[in-house]
Structure 1
Amino acid sequence: MSAVRTVLGDVRPGDLGVCDAHDHLFFGSPRLPGQELRSGAAARAELTAFREQGGGAVVQWTPYGLGRRAADLPALSRETGVHLVAATGLHQAALYDEDTLARLRGRLAEVFVAELTDGIGTSGVRAGLVKVAGGFHALDAHARWTLAAAAEAHHATGAPIAVHLELGTGVLDVLDVLCGRFEVPPHRVVLGHLNRSPDLVTHRQAAESGCHLAFDGPSRAHHATDWRMPEAVRALADAGFGDRLLLGADTTTAAARSVNGGPGMPYLLRRVRPRLVEAVGEELVRRILTENPGRAFGTEWRR
């Protein structure tokens, strides 16, 4: 039976409620010094604010080595009443030091599988997806290594694979590797940041493959992509791909949290949802937020 693997155990896909399909409660990147998401109190406040807007679930895409704080997630889920999904995986090479990458050589898929089945570190919290990353319009050797390990972990466990697309690019290269070379079923792949490159032709090609497409996070630099996002969602819905669409807030810095004056998780429901209702109608937006995440992150777990 299909299930979504949350930090409190497996749940039925239909029990997620309104879902933020791509976000971060804890995260730290060397590209964003001084803006780390480290505060447990701030994470709790952000989840509470999301819950007050009607939110029911958050999929945290923070992978290995970037401050996941997996041991803190179960208590946050219980205290706020929000389902949480944790991630294993590996981001781009620039986010890690050489010692970290050296320790993972030859055993990356093994680490992913262990975190999906046994738990992350000593926390006992099992990851519910593998998060990896592509590059800007291309795939370097690191990206191909991590995609290969993610595919191996999928075939061992059934886990869904979520992919950070750098500025929304490299879509077809990622699918060629994951679904072509490594034969991952497309419906087990979630492509992130499609909103950052509003190429409607590529979006449609990706949707035709059978994968899920995530539109996640207000822009910090390319503001034209924000007002074009409803157009992209409408184009995919009109083409019959409304069941492949996901929405997320992708909060990656402390300043971006709503409790610090930024948009944060609540913005997804407070502003993005009504804007999309205007574009594609209330019923489709309801399904994008409540039904599609269960299909994307629910799977027949093998281990």
Structure 2
Amino acid sequence: MSTVRTVLGDIRPEDLGVCDAHDHLFLRSPGLPGQELNDASAARAELEAFRAAGGAAVVQWTPYGMGRRAADLPLLSRAAGVHLICATGLHQAAHYVPELLDRLRGGLAGLFVDELTRGIGTSGVRAGLIKVAGGFHALDAHARWTMTAAAEAHRATGAPIAVHLELGTAALDVLDLLCGKLGVPGDRVILGHLNRSPDLVLQREAAASGCWLAFDGPSRAHHATDWRMPEAVRSLCEAGFGDRLLLGGDTVVAGARSVDGGPGMPYLLRRIRPRLVAELGAEQVDRILTANPARAFAVQGR
């Protein structure tokens, strides 16, 4: 039996609703000084704005050690009336101090399993996915370490693995490692940021593995997002991969929130959805926002 593991407990996949498949309510990194997402009031306002736009669920990809504030998520979920899914996992090494990574040597898979099954710290919140990251056109030793741990945790829990692709690159390297060498089924892998490298041939090749392709982070002027994403999504649908697509906002700094003057979570439904409806039709876009994430983020058989 498959369930979606939210911060308030497991729900039926069909109850997830319209889903922002990749976003952040809280996040901090040494690489983003002074731009932290760390304001619970702003997070609640952003969720309420997303709900008002027709949203029902948000998947927070913030992993271990990056300010997830897991204990705050159940209250926010209840207050805003939005399902939240929390991540375990580990980002690129640049987002951590070396001492923290040293402490995790030898026990990373166990940490992931604990957060997926027992809960994150004393919060009682169980993670619903594992987030890891690749590098620019390659996988370094850190990426291989974290992905190996993620594959082990997946086998123990059935949780999906979501992958940050640096500028949308190294998708096939990730699949060769996770699905080839490590044996993770393709439909348990979610590739993020495909929109940042709009290579239609590569995207179709990745989709053929059975993995999920997440088009996330709209309205970023230095990425090929809004203006080329519809073409990529249409191409994938025409090739028969419309059932493998996800959409997300990926709000990573405070200034990007809608309540702080940025596009934020509502932009996905306010601007991106109508643009894609014009390209694909309402029925296909509704599947991408509802049926697809319900399957992608299901924890299978646990």
Q: What TM-score results when the alignment is normalised by the length of structure 1?
A: 0.98
Pairwise CA distance, 1:278: 1.0
Residue 181 of structure 2 corresponds to 181
Structure 2 residue identity aligned to 1:161: I
Residue 284 of structure 1 corresponds to 284
2:139–2:170 Cα contact (<8 Å) kept: yes
- The alignment partner of 2:56 has SS state of strand
Structure 2 residue identity aligned to 1:37: L
Pairwise CA distance, 1:169: 0.3
Does the alignment pair 1:162 with 2:162?
yes
Residue 36 of structure 2 corresponds to 36
2:16–2:56 Cα contact (<8 Å) kept: yes
Residue 83 of structure 2 corresponds to 83
Does the alignment pair 1:110 with 2:110?
yes
Does the alignment pair 1:62 with 2:62?
yes
Residue 214 of structure 1 corresponds to 214
Please give the per-residue CA displacement for 1:231-253, whole angstroms capped at 9, x wherever unaligned: 00000000011010000000000
Write the mapping of 1:88-167 to structure 2, written as runs, cut at 5 A. 88-167=88-167
Pairwise CA distance, 1:220: 3.0
Does the alignment pair 1:275 with 2:271?
no
Pairwise CA distance, 1:301: 4.1
Structure 1 residue identity aligned to 2:188: R
Structure 2 residue identity aligned to 1:95: H
Q: Percent identity?
A: 77
Aligned residues: 302
Query: What CA distance in whole angstroms lies between the structure 2 residues aligned with 1:199 and 1:176?
Result: 18
Query: What CA distance in whole angstroms lies between the structure 1 residues aligned with 2:111 and 2:10?
Result: 20
1:196–1:219 Cα contact (<8 Å) kept: no
- Which structure 2 residue ranges, 5 or more long, are not aligned? none
**Which aligned segments of 4 or more residues in structure 1 are displaced greater than 2 angstroms?**
219-226
Pairwise CA distance, 1:263: 0.3
- The alignment partner of 1:209 has SS state of coil
Please give the per-residue CA displacement for 1:156-198, whole angstroms capped at 9, x wherever unaligned: 0000000000000000000000000000000000000000000
Please give the per-residue CA displacement for 1:92-120, whole angstroms capped at 9, x wherever unaligned: 00000011000100000000000000000
Comparing 29-38 with 80-89, greater Cα deviation is found at 29-38
Pairwise CA distance, 1:60: 0.3
What is the CA RMSD across the aligned residues, in angstroms? 0.8
Write the mapping of 1:205-244 to structure 2, written as runs, cut at 5 A. 205-244=205-244
Query: What CA distance in whole angstroms lies between the structure 2 residues aligned with 1:146 and 1:170?
Result: 15
Structure 2 residue identity aligned to 1:159: A
Structure 2 residue identity aligned to 1:268: L
Please give the per-residue CA displacement for 1:81-101, whole angstroms capped at 9, x wherever unaligned: 100000000000000001100
Residue 26 of structure 1 corresponds to 26
Please give the per-residue CA displacement for 1:251-290, whole angstroms capped at 9, x wherever unaligned: 0000000000000000000000001111111110000001
- The alignment partner of 1:226 has SS state of coil
Pairwise CA distance, 1:225: 3.5
- The alignment partner of 1:173 has SS state of helix
Residue 45 of structure 1 corresponds to 45
Query: What CA distance in whole angstroms lies between the structure 2 residues aligned with 1:242 and 1:225?
Result: 18
Structure 1 residue identity aligned to 2:279: A
Pairwise CA distance, 1:222: 2.2
Residue 295 of structure 1 corresponds to 295
Give the direction of change, closer, same or farther, for the CA distance of 1:180–1:162 in structure 2 (3 Å limit). Answer: same
Query: What CA distance in whole angstroms lies between the structure 1 residues aligned with 2:34 and 2:243?
Result: 38
Q: What TM-score results when the alignment is normalised by the length of structure 2?
A: 0.99
Please give the per-residue CA displacement for 1:55-100, whole angstroms capped at 9, x wherever unaligned: 0000000000000000000000111110000000000000000110
Does the alignment pair 1:11 with 2:11?
yes
